[in-house]
Amino acid sequence: ILLGISLFFLIVALIVGQIMTKRAMKPIINSYTLQTEFIANASHELRTPLSVLKAGIEVIEFEEGKKFSSFSKSVLSDLKEEIRSTTQLVNNLLFLIRSDSGEQATVVESFDLLELMQQTLRSFGHISEAKKIKLKLQMQNPLIVCTEKEKVKQLLYILIDNAIKYTPNGGQVSVSYKLKSDSQNEQLYIEVKDTGIGISKELLERIFDRFYRVDKSRSRNSGSSGLGLSIGKFIVESLNGTIEVSSTLNKGSKFTIIIPLLKTN
């Protein structure tokens, strides 16, 4: 009988506990949902004016560019860079919100990695030029792969963006890929290497944490948010892959992503 009574009270306590927890959590969940919706809407709304600004500057450059003084040219170049890094931040925020809520769609397709890399590097053309950084694509041969193209594209953006951001003027950023396969698996290795400031050993682990930045004073002037690598890691893991980094302070860093591929045939 005693055991029965104890069990009864235990069950009642558990049920009451659960109800109380649910009630206590409700305002927290509601405010989280509101906050998430707000960030998603704000990010979405910001994309259009950013595209309009970018297109406007391109038109001005095309029509009037030749008449500009070197000062005006450098102002325009700074404006373009601010627009590019803000667009990247907005895209990162949107990606994070969609992933957290499980909304991120999965689209697997066959595509040429060489073409994707050439396209991506082209979009970093003006910023690398402004910093006199040599952008090098180590590959020449097309490579058809079957995986989620948009995710690979975003990974490349995050890693190349960082490589340029953390490499002083006159440095070099190189990108390469290779396939490794055995009888069952095929793995894609993508490498982004820079000759930049590097990351100390103790901090290497932390750079993948959300909102973590090694040098917080940079955040104001280099479009740094501490989101890129945490999203990168999340994307790689959603592809069942891994991301590795090796780095030497004042020499440079090398980020390698390894993604298992779907066989195309």
Nearer to ligand ADP, 196 or 241 (CB): 196
* Selected binder of ligand ADP within 43, 128, 147, 230 (CB under 6 A): 230
Nearer to ligand ADP, 80 or 213 (CB): 213
What is the CB-side half-sphere exposure of residue 33 using CA atoms within 13 A? 6
Does residue 85 belong to the site contacting ligand ADP (CB under 6 A)?
no
- Binding to ligand ADP in span 42-81, by CB under 6 A: none
Does residue 175 belong to the site contacting ligand ADP (CB under 6 A)?
no
* Selected binder of ligand ADP within 83, 100, 212, 256 (CB under 6 A): 212
Does residue 194 belong to the site contacting ligand ADP (CB under 6 A)?
yes
Q: Which two tokens stand for residue 184?
A: 């069952």
* Selected binder of ligand ADP within 133, 224, 239, 257 (CB under 6 A): 224
Amino acid 262 reads L
Does residue 99 belong to the site contacting ligand ADP (CB under 6 A)?
no
Does residue 88 belong to the site contacting ligand ADP (CB under 6 A)?
no
Does residue 204 belong to the site contacting ligand ADP (CB under 6 A)?
no
Query: Shortest distance, CB of residue 206 to ligand ADP, whole angstroms?
Result: 8
